[in-house]
Amino acid sequence: MTLGSIRNELVIERSADQVWELAGDASRLHEWFPGIVSLDMDGNKRTIHLAGGLSMPEDIVIDDKISRRFEYSITMPVFVFHRGTIDVIALEENRCMVVYACEADPRTMALIIGGGCYRALQELKRQMELQPAKAAN
Amino acid sequence: MGRKILFITTDQQRYDTLGCNGGTVARTPVADRLAREGIRYERAVPQSVVCMPSRSTIITGQAPSTHGVWMNGVPLPADAPSVAQVLKDAGYKTALIGKPHFEPFLDPFAAFAENRFAGGEPVNGHRGFDHFLAATHGAAGPLAYSRFILTEHPEFAGGFYPVLDGTLEVNAMGGGETGMPQLWNNPIPKELYHTDWCADQAISWLDSLDKDDDFFLWLSFPDPHHPQDVPNSELGRINWRDLDLPAAYPTNRTQREAILDGKPKHWRMWYDGTLVSNYEAPASWVPSTLTEDQIREFTAYNAIACELIDEAIGRVFAALSARGIEDDVDIIFSTDHGDLGGDFGLAFKGPYHVDGLMRLPLIWKPAKNANVAPSVVAAPVGLVDLAPTFCQIAGIAAPSWMEGKSLPVSEADAEARNFERVLTEWDSELFGVAMHLRTITRDNWVLTAYLPGTTSDGTDGELYNLSEDPNQFTNLWSDPSVAAMKADLLDDLWAHQPKQVTPLRPLVAPV
């Protein structure tokens, strides 16, 4: 099996809607994903630029604001397959779970990208919980 | 002015690669002299047999369960305890030159400081080091040695073996004359190879100090870890065709496979290519295909790497002499773990707690003014004991977070201070395969208990009598004649487990 799968999740003490405002905005990934220094958007295409010097082109596959699910695929040649998924799941009025999953072939890339996703979730939680809680929509 | 500390590590070096330990292939006169003039340890045992956990043990003085680097790819937190910080706080000048690997190498997000320093980020006393110049096994990646090759000698960058393949798995591609995986002919001149580069950088840093400065220099050679790609110019040192096979390699295939069948089943599964339990060995390589000539060629290249290190440390010692400080320096030489090196028909490393991986070279030559007589210590000691040893050399109390104790200077000292047992751990959970081992080395016995995992229900294990079975051919785990010893060792193993950091820290990279 060459497909690797990594899932990171954590609970954020803010509403799902408030977290989705940032986590679901494809153009703001670099604001909370450590190691992504900038990005370019062109329709459903996104290119992220990494602190290590690499740039990775991506296709945005799903941007579902109702179920709060965002999916994208890194399309650079080293990946036979990649799918990144961010789910923001409401738990309580001001509490949600964010799941950031990564599947990749080669499987080692799932570990490397998944490690970045882990740190991104930590940073997302830090930033969100510094913000005042917004009233639920 | 106190005692200065030169701490030399290699990477993945077997005990039997030094002449002073009975090795007959590599010529290591510098290490041999160090052993004659200092303390040679005959049973130095790592707390993990892979790099990141073991190196984290060295710098923290803690077992892997305690420092939390439970497998390769789990970073040691930047604010983890560090003996270098303790020494720096005591006034020592501190440097790490060579392979650090407290943090993952595969780091496209530049998340880890080790990977950013060569790009200009200030070291700022990272882990207690004033000076930090990193190198690893080739010219790829963001470390200082890689940048040196890529910017000043780019014509040699492509001559190193590609450690990883196109899928970022450990490469199984073969080279040399036998097609041995991870073995390669490298056109780089000796003086540009990372072994000499590390020694050169160490000498330069020593030259930057005042004569009276106390220092802690960790000189960390990336070799003889695979790949075996020493400079071509050095290959004439040893003719691999002349070499004997390792004592732990039964040439009779039936006998070899029967030995493997007597061990927990992941041994034979790896040998047959039906299970690769860990990242550190080539994923697509099947050990049962390993030939006698491949083992010989590996042994020769590996021995040449050891000879180059020996000569390099000789140059560093000469620099100490030239500065007139050789009598003020404590020198400790060791490694992070061993290599299977053909034993049982296997190579590289993994969850296999036998001497190839577990018995390490360790030599300590105290400064002359310490008035310590040369000796040989047979009692088991661990790499966890290094950090408190550095503290003792510096004349400062070991912090309470260190779990080891300063190394004994004689067999009598070992007995007086109860150096009875050393514990080793293996944990890995990678791509759906989980392995968990707990090992005790005591009284010339080695016992490994398996916790539940992919190939174990938690009832199997290994037990070897090192006195009667130095190659660990016969697993006595189920032998009723040694049941009492097994029970005693198990009780001792579980009674002395280090504290466990929970939850486990996340795995964020393969290595």
Which pLDDT does position A26 carry in this prediction? Answer: 97
* Alpha-carbon distance B140 to nearest alpha carbon in chain A (angstroms): 13
Asked whether this complex has an ipTM greater than 0.90, the answer is: yes
Confidence of residue B2 (pLDDT cuts 50, 70, 90): confident
Question: In total, how many domains does chain B have?
Answer: 1
How many Å apart are CA B266 and CA A133, to the nearest integer? Answer: 52
Which pLDDT does position B395 carry in this prediction? Answer: 97
Q: Least CA distance to A55: which residue of chain B?
A: B108
Range of the domain at B153: 4-418
Closest CA to B85 of B401, B404, B417: B401
Alpha-carbon torsion angle B244, B224, B171, B68, nearest 10:
120
Residue B1 predicted with pLDDT over 80: no
Chain segment B459-498, per-residue pLDDT in tens: 999 999 999 999 999 999 999 999 999 999 999 999 999 9
Confidence of residue A137 (pLDDT cuts 50, 70, 90): low
- Mention every residue, 6+ apart, whose C-beta is less than 8 A from residue B187: B156, B159, B231, B232
Task: Find out whether the peptide bond into B224 is cis, omega within 30 degrees of 0.
Answer: yes
**SS3 of B382, please?**
strand
Q: Per-residue pLDDT averaged across B43-50, rounded? A: 98
Residue B42 predicted with pLDDT over 90: yes
Chain segment B186-229, per-residue pLDDT in tens: 999 999 999 999 999 999 999 999 999 999 999 999 999 999 99
Confidence of residue B250 (pLDDT cuts 50, 70, 90): very high
Do B508 and A115 lie within an 8 Å CB cutoff? yes
Which chain B residues are Cβ-neighbours of A1 within 8 angstroms? 431
Chain segment B139-161, per-residue pLDDT in tens: 999 999 999 999 999 999 999 99
Residue B258 predicted with pLDDT over 80: yes
Residue B358's alpha-carbon distances to B12, B382, B405, B426, in angstroms, are 10, 10, 19, 12
What order of strands is seen across the sheet that includes strand B461-465?
A: B421-430, B433-442, B445-450, B461-465
Please indicate, yes or no, if residue B293 is contained in any of the structural domains.
yes
Nearest to A112 among B106, B166, B431 (CB): B106
Share above pLDDT 90 across residues of chain A, in percent, rounded to a whole number: 96
Chain mean pLDDT for chain B: 97
Which pLDDT does position A135 carry in this prediction? Answer: 77
How many Å apart are CA A88 and CA A32, to the nearest integer? Answer: 15
Which pLDDT does position B211 carry in this prediction? Answer: 93
Which chain B residues are Cβ-neighbours of A108 within 8 angstroms? 106, 167-169, 510
Chain segment B404-426, per-residue pLDDT in tens: 999 999 999 999 999 999 999 99
Do A111 and B108 lie within an 8 Å CB cutoff? no
How many Å apart are CA B225 and CA B78, to the nearest integer? Answer: 25
Residue A136 predicted with pLDDT over 90: no
Confidence of residue A52 (pLDDT cuts 50, 70, 90): very high
Q: Decide yes or no: CATH 3.30.530.20 for domain A4-130.
A: yes
Q: Least CA distance to B279: which residue of chain A?
A: A108
Share above pLDDT 70 across residues of chain B, in percent, rounded to a whole number: 100
Interface of B with A (CB under 8 A): 73, 104, 106-111, 115, 142, 166-169, 431, 506-510
**SS3 of B427, please?**
strand
Residue B325 predicted with pLDDT over 60: yes
Confidence of residue B371 (pLDDT cuts 50, 70, 90): very high
Q: Which CATH number does the domain housing residue B222 bear?
A: 3.40.720.10
Task: Please answer whether residues B437 and B425 qualify as being in contact, where contact means their C-beta atoms are separated by less than 8 angstroms.
Answer: yes
Q: Per-residue pLDDT averaged across B110-135, rounded? A: 97
Residue A1 predicted with pLDDT over 80: no
Which pLDDT does position A2 carry in this prediction? Answer: 81
Q: In which residue are the tokens 């030159």 written? A: B97
Structure tokens at B198: 């590390």
Pairs of residues, one from chain A and one from chain B, whose beta carbons lie less than 8 Å apart: 66
